[in-house]
Amino acid sequence: MLATKPQSCAEVLGELKKFDLTGKLVLSIMAGIPLDVIKQGLGGQKVRLVRTMPNTPLLVKLGVTGVYTTDRSAKKEVEALLGATSRLFFVPAEDDLNAVTAISGSGPAYFFAFIEALAEAGAKLGLDKEMATQMAIGTALGASTLAAASRDSISTLRKNVTSKGGTTEQALISFEKNELARIVAEAASAARERGRELSKLAKL
């Protein structure tokens, strides 16, 4: 398992290529390092390569991990290695991992930023800052848990909270006026493009 920082890639692969790894499963969680670079770094040995993009909630066994491999036989091994801490999503193209990075890899930071903003809003409305923070965290956890457990679509769940002419509707109208969907789309696109840039820059 290659779990080093990307900048340590050349050094680590240089040491590993001294060993005969023929037929071995080599699983990478190094961000931005393409499989062809890893193969080159291992001296072109015939190994079974898998590239993944996990996220930090795997620390509490609630991770989301994107997986790319051309070796179908590796799927069960990957599930055995990572399935206990993450929900796995196998993508058909390596470039898709840049989109995975934009959505789930970087995604926890987006939600942390929203929780921070919601807590700050609560404090400005007169709530104790720590109380507002815990309320924001609890609401995020509850909403995510409900979304995961419900058979209803996310859109339906949103509508279930939104009474016509009510408080939630006014908040959502404000989001719409400020183009929340556009902001999120542009942020995800920026993250994906940076991932592509890093992949192109990856060299040994």
- From first to last of the 204 residues of the chain, give the pLDDT tens digit: 999 888 889 999 999 999 999 999 999 999 889 999 999 999 999 999 999 999 999 999 999 999 999 998 899 999 999 999 999 999 999 999 999 999 999 999 999 999 999 999 999 999 999 999 999 999 999 999 999 999 999 999 999 999 999 999 999 999 999 999 999 999 999 999 999 998 888 877
Q: Is 63 helix (H, G, I), strand (E, B) or coil?
A: strand
Question: What does the alpha-carbon distance between residue 69 and residue 188 come to, in Å, rounded to a whole number?
Answer: 23
Within a domain: residue 121? yes
Q: What is the DSSP letter of 170?
A: H
**18 & 93 share domain:** yes
In the block, tokens 């006014």 appear at 170
Question: What does the alpha-carbon distance between residue 199 and residue 35 come to, in Å, rounded to a whole number?
Answer: 10
Question: What does the alpha-carbon distance between residue 32 and residue 198 come to, in Å, rounded to a whole number?
Answer: 5
Question: What does the alpha-carbon distance between residue 128 and residue 111 come to, in Å, rounded to a whole number?
Answer: 21
Q: What pLDDT score was predicted for residue 201?
A: 84
**143 & 69 share domain:** no
Number of domains forming the structure of the chain: 2
Q: What pLDDT score was predicted for residue 145?
A: 97
Domain ranges, residue 10: 6-105+193-201
Question: What does the alpha-carbon distance between residue 140 and residue 60 come to, in Å, rounded to a whole number?
Answer: 16
Q: Is 93 helix (H, G, I), strand (E, B) or coil?
A: coil
**82 & 121 share domain:** no
Please state at what angle helix 107-124 crosses helix 129-149, rounded to 10 degrees. 140
Q: Is 164 helix (H, G, I), strand (E, B) or coil?
A: coil
Phi first, then psi, for residue 51 (nearest 5°) are -115, 135
Q: What pLDDT score was predicted for residue 25?
A: 96
Q: What pLDDT score was predicted for residue 80?
A: 95
Query: Which ranges of the chain would DSSP assign to H, the alpha helix?
Result: 9-16, 35-41, 75-82, 96-100, 107-124, 129-149, 154-161, 167-177, 180-201
Q: Which residues contact 3 (CB under 8 A, 6 or more apart)?
A: 29, 30
Q: What pLDDT score was predicted for residue 5?
A: 86
**48 & 123 share domain:** no
Q: What pLDDT score was predicted for residue 131?
A: 98
pTM of the model: 0.92
Q: What pLDDT score was predicted for residue 26?
A: 96
Q: What pLDDT score was predicted for residue 90?
A: 97
**21 & 48 share domain:** yes
Within a domain: residue 134? yes
Within a domain: residue 123? yes
CA distances from 170 to 12, 63, 167, 178 (A): 54, 33, 5, 13
CATH number at residue 164: 1.10.3730.10
